[in-house]
Chains A and B, each alone.
Chain A
Amino acid sequence: NAGVMQNPRHLVRRRGQEARLRCSPMKGHSHVYWYRQLPEEGLKFMVYLQKENIIDESGMPKERFSAEFPKEGPSILRIQQVVRGDSAAYFCASSPPSATDTQYFGPGTRLTVL
């Protein structure tokens, strides 16, 4: 049973470009969470999704950021017109329907904005 998968592991973008981060939850998991981690800092909640629904996006900036978890395929975190301050590690986590509070993390995507 593969764990939570994220790709790419490293992503370099220039200011103004778009970044797309993908997260494939563990098999059987229908809940996905995205977190941002700045260097030497903790994990900041961004968004919580179930299949085809955004449950809680209170931690996500209103502009430039969007997330989806389609019926088929991975969850996508999209950052438009990236700025240097978007440079961070972005982790997703997933949980099963039977224990929705227990989250398992993916390896993260390290985004660098030049």
Chain B
Amino acid sequence: GENVEQHPSTLSVQEGDSAVIKCTYSDSASNYFPWYKQELGKRPQLIIDIRSNVGEKKDQRIAVTLNKTAKHFSLHITETQPEDSAVYFCAASTHNNDMRFGAGTRLTVKP
């Protein structure tokens, strides 16, 4: 089955700096890669996603890149703000909707 690895497990940046979180996956059939943000005690919220026919997608300060050959994808947050502090999860799934999540990255943005 799919195995998703996520790094780093914790990330601390200064407000205004960029943050990058990286994930790798094992199943070459995976074709959908969402990213979720989870604040303490809250539900995971979908913040951006990318499908395997696209290499990059951007939404304001958030961007995701996908390298199918290397089987890795990354989340980029620019101009970070304290409210970006949360745990971020990457995930991967195939057409069978068998989504598997990474272990999460705890991002702290220091004012």
Whether, in the assembled complex, A42 has its beta carbon less than 8 Å from a beta carbon of chain B, the answer is yes
The number of residues on chain A lying at the interface, defined by a beta carbon within 8 Å of a beta carbon of chain B, is 23
Determine whether the beta carbon of B43 is less than 8 Å from that of A107. Answer: yes
Whether, in the assembled complex, A69 has its beta carbon less than 8 Å from a beta carbon of chain B, the answer is no
Determine whether the beta carbon of B102 is less than 8 Å from that of A42. Answer: yes
How far does the Cβ of B101 sit from chain A's closest Cβ, in whole Å?
4
8 A Cβ contacts from A2-16 to B: none
Determine whether the beta carbon of B104 is less than 8 Å from that of A58. Answer: no
B43 CB contact (under 8 Å) in A33, A42, A55, A105: A105
Determine whether the beta carbon of A101 is less than 8 Å from that of B99. Answer: yes
Determine whether the beta carbon of B1 is less than 8 Å from that of A43. Answer: no
How far does the Cβ of B2 sit from chain A's closest Cβ, in whole Å?
9
How far does the Cβ of A38 sit from chain B's closest Cβ, in whole Å?
11
In the complex the two chains form, what is the Cα distance from A41 to B1 in whole Å? 20
Contact with B along A41-52 (1 / 0, CB 8 A): 111110010000
**Which A residue's beta carbon lies closest to that of B101?**
A43
**Which A residue's beta carbon lies closest to that of B94?**
A101
The majority secondary structure among interface residues of chain A is strand
Contact with B along A19-59 (1 / 0, CB 8 A): 00000000000010101000001111100100000011010
- Additional A-B contacts beyond A102-B32, A107-B43 (18; CB < 8 A): A31-B97, A33-B97, A42-B6, A42-B101, A42-B103, A45-B98, A56-B96, A58-B98, A91-B44, A101-B32, A101-B34, A101-B99, A102-B34, A103-B99, A104-B46, A105-B36, A105-B43, A105-B44
8 A-B pairs closest in CB distance: A101-B32, A105-B43, A42-B103, A43-B101, A42-B104, A105-B44, A107-B43, A42-B101
**What are 15 contact pairs spanning A and B, CB under 8 A?**
A31-B97, A35-B101, A42-B6, A43-B101, A44-B101, A45-B98, A55-B97, A56-B98, A91-B43, A101-B34, A102-B32, A104-B46, A105-B36, A106-B43, A107-B43
Q: Give me the interface of A with B, judged by CB distance under 8 Å.
A: 31, 33, 35, 41-45, 48, 55-56, 58, 91, 95, 100-108
